[in-house]
Amino acid sequence: MSTEASSIRRTAPWTLSAGRSEVTGELSEPAGASVWAVVATLPGESPALVDELTAAGIATYHFEMPKGATAERVRLARAAARSLRDSGFVDGRPVCFAAGGKSAAVMALASRQEPESGLVTRDARFGRTWFALGGIATPALLLVDPTQSSPMFARATARRFAGTAHVERVDSTDLTALIAGWRNSFVAGSLAPPVAHKRMGPVRRLVPAAVAATLAATMLAAPVAVAVEGDSQPPAKTEVKHHHRAIPVEGDGAAAFSTGSRSLIDGVGMKWFVNTNITFNTTSSASGAMSEAAFTASHPVSTLGGGTVSAKLNDAFDGYNSLYVDTAAGPHVIYNKLGTGVTASCPTAGINRLLTFPTATVGFGGLEVTRKIYVSPTDGFARWENVVHNPTGAPINATVGTLNNLGSDSNTKIIATSSGDATVTTNDLWATSMQNWSGTTSSDPRLGHVFAGAGAVTPVHQITFVDGNDLPTWNYAAAVPAGGTVTIVNFATGQNSNAASASEAAALSRLPASSLQCMDASELASVQNFEAHAGLSAPTYSVSETGGSATVTVTRPNGANLGPGAVNFATSDGTAKAGTDYTATSGTATFADGATTATFAVPILVNDASQANTNLNVTLSTPTGALQMGTQTSAVLTIQNVAPTTTTTAPTTTTTTANATTTTTILTGTLPVTGADPLTALDLGGSLVMGGSAALAASVGWRRRLGRRNRRK
């Protein structure tokens, strides 16, 4: 679909005639509606389905069927569909039939004779027309309230359709998300060439594979209902008016979303549909899961023989990355049905890229569970942050897991893993999959699933992901400390080739900078299934006062498996004072891609006045990129004192008389014995007093005079 409904484009009465009947109904068109529905009710029947269709972004033409034979009513419904197609209202968009109760039989027969249409029924009462359903080959969604009708009978009815019907058991009066899911599948379904039908002649119907991929399983999904992509303004409420009652339809914005989901397009052109306010019980399409992902335009896509064809890949998921948290208090509690409290933030080019879901507590054994979903505007991936907080005073062990439903269905094929084979195990960091080739092509995106990073504190605990199984699941055994938080992060990517999905998955497992956008340092520090912790290499460092500078090392033990990262550092005074003992220093230590260490220098100053060792503090903060703060975030740097060199000057005295000035120099030591070398034998431990010229001789000509004296002897 192109856009989603946020307001009503128009409402108007419209009169049509067919045979002897003429009726006036009400047109109601949400802005951006991608499907039209002809809705009929019998006198006294509730028009509630009209509201559900409108809220799900489906335009409606609703009329009350007059009294008469079933055949006449069928002609009237078909005339409404044809008139819509011929009018300027539809503008090439598909038209379906919708009804509840006894009216469903009429609309089912009308859809049988309008093979390019679809069908939505709610608590249908087919009666005797049940036996005629075998000729219906249109995509149908049969909504069943088990308190109103028999699910077993509904399933039997679905089997009467030509493999194109899906039964959804509902426990809520709000069916917006389910109908929107059918709408997305209906729009995405590709049509096969006409085929012969024994009762109807040539018709067009959905290709069975496409039906399985884009309809049957996705009925459990909750695609976009009322979000408008790119709107960052607060939600504006518009009254949806038709002749029964008015209902509010919320727009998209930085505040809460209404029932349905939010669509975001990533950096390679794939649109992700994130489930927001889910109001029904489901597993793989619960709150925060992806109901679907599809490319918005055609691209060159890989073929079996290694070539490419131009195609628009779609139907990545039928529900992906639903979250469950098991504790001793109870198993498989799904994170779901959380109301309208989803908020959007972290805008890029005016579009909020991060969705934050409400905190859930019921059923999680004392834990508080939150989800954050991010879709990259520059790269081709989506990221899930599953945040589990323990507010209690005792540790809690929990299994944090994900449930999935791939659009590849039974044709799911594992292509590659981080281990280099096509068998997924708990040792794998990532895996890629696709819908197996049909001939030489495949219509689904090539998917990459990222489970963990190398050396993680909490790696994958259990995983089930094999060929032919479109319901992969994996989980983590998390020990959540008292008062602490554990975050499990997953990534998924959709690409046009298997090589591209493997490359992107491998890159994401190394936490490149783009993968960590819209995550702050405290959030990253709580991530347990990716190991990117860094810290100072030691709690203490030492340097000589005359050493010039001290080198401090920051280590990242798992750095060989990680992309670039950086961390800020700063010094502060201890007993050493900045400007006297060292130069205050701050900056950023940077890790290159794959690097395990980074260093920085602290300049040291000589302080002659100090006679003792001094120390200062070194602190790390604010990691960025593939970096989390470890436990060693501070250290003490000791400056070792060096005693200053002392120079002794011989004392002198000066005496002034009327005729002369006499300077006396006192040299300490003893005179050498006769015959000894005067320079080597001189002992300065005693004292020698000389004055006048003798002092000068002692200081200048001592060796010369001793030499002459020795020669005379």
Query: What mean pLDDT do residues 193-201 have?
Result: 31
Find the angle CA(529)-CA(535)-CA(538) to the nearest 5 degrees.
Answer: 135
**Concatenated DSSP letters for 56-110?**
TTEEEEEEEPPSS-HHHHHHHHHHHHHHHHHSTTTTT--EEEEEETTHHHHHHHH
- pLDDT value at position 152? 59
Question: How far is CA 169 from each of CA 41, 75, 146, 319, rounded to the nearest angstrom?
Answer: 22, 30, 7, 17
Share of the chain above pLDDT 90, in %: 40
Residue 16, amino acid: L
Query: What mean pLDDT do residues 327-343 have?
Result: 82
pLDDT digits (tens, 9 = 90+) for 485-497: 999 999 999 999 9
- pLDDT value at position 601? 96
- Check whether domain 270-299+313-525 has CATH 2.70.98, yes or no: yes
Is the predicted pLDDT of residue 4 greater than 50, yes or no? no
Give the integer Cα–Cα distance in Å for 56 and 313: 24
Give one word for 202, left, alpha or beta, with left for phi > 0 and alpha for psi -120 to 50.
Answer: beta
CATH class, range 533-640: mainly beta
- pLDDT value at position 285? 80
- pLDDT value at position 68? 73
Q: Are 317 and 433 in contact (CB under 8 A)?
A: no
Q: 321 vs 36, which has greater pLDDT?
A: 321
Give the integer Cα–Cα distance in Å for 523 and 526: 5
pLDDT digits (tens, 9 = 90+) for 322-332: 999 999 765 67
Confidence of residue 582 (pLDDT cuts 50, 70, 90): very high
Q: Are 578 and 570 in contact (CB under 8 A)?
A: no
Confidence of residue 414 (pLDDT cuts 50, 70, 90): very high
C-alpha 475 chain-centroid distance: 17
Query: What mean pLDDT do residues 618-634 have?
Result: 86
Confidence of residue 503 (pLDDT cuts 50, 70, 90): very high
Domain residue extents for the chain:
8-252, 270-299+313-525, 533-640, 656-670+677-712
Query: What mean pLDDT do residues 560-578 have?
Result: 92
Share of the chain above pLDDT 70, in %: 68
**What homologous superfamily is domain 8-252 in, according to CATH?**
Alpha/Beta hydrolase fold, catalytic domain (3.40.50.1820)
Is the predicted pLDDT of residue 257 greater than 50, yes or no? no
- pLDDT value at position 201? 30
Q: Please report how many Cα atoms fall inside a 13 Å half-sphere around the Cα of residue 631, on the Cβ side.
A: 2
Give the integer Cα–Cα distance in Å for 604 and 348: 44
- pLDDT value at position 187? 61
Q: Provide the token pair at 368.
A: 């508080």
Query: What mean pLDDT do residues 504-523 have?
Result: 90
Q: Which of 60, 210, 203 is nearest to 136 (CA)?
A: 203
Q: Is 52 helix (H, G, I), strand (E, B) or coil?
A: helix
- Cβ count within 10 A of residue 48: 15
Is the predicted pLDDT of residue 138 greater than 90, yes or no? no
Confidence of residue 521 (pLDDT cuts 50, 70, 90): confident
Find the radius of gyration of the CA atoms of the chain: 40
Residue 91, amino acid: D
- pLDDT value at position 624? 84
- pLDDT value at position 329? 62
| Sole residue written with tokens 């300077």 | 663
Q: 2 vs 656, which has greater pLDDT?
A: 656
Give the integer Cα–Cα distance in Å for 36 and 311: 26
pLDDT digits (tens, 9 = 90+) for 202-231: 322 333 333 333 333 333 232 322 222 222
Query: What mean pLDDT do residues 267-283 have?
Result: 85
Averaged pLDDT of the chain: 76
Give the integer Cα–Cα distance in Å for 436 and 446: 10
Q: Are 175 and 52 in contact (CB under 8 A)?
A: yes
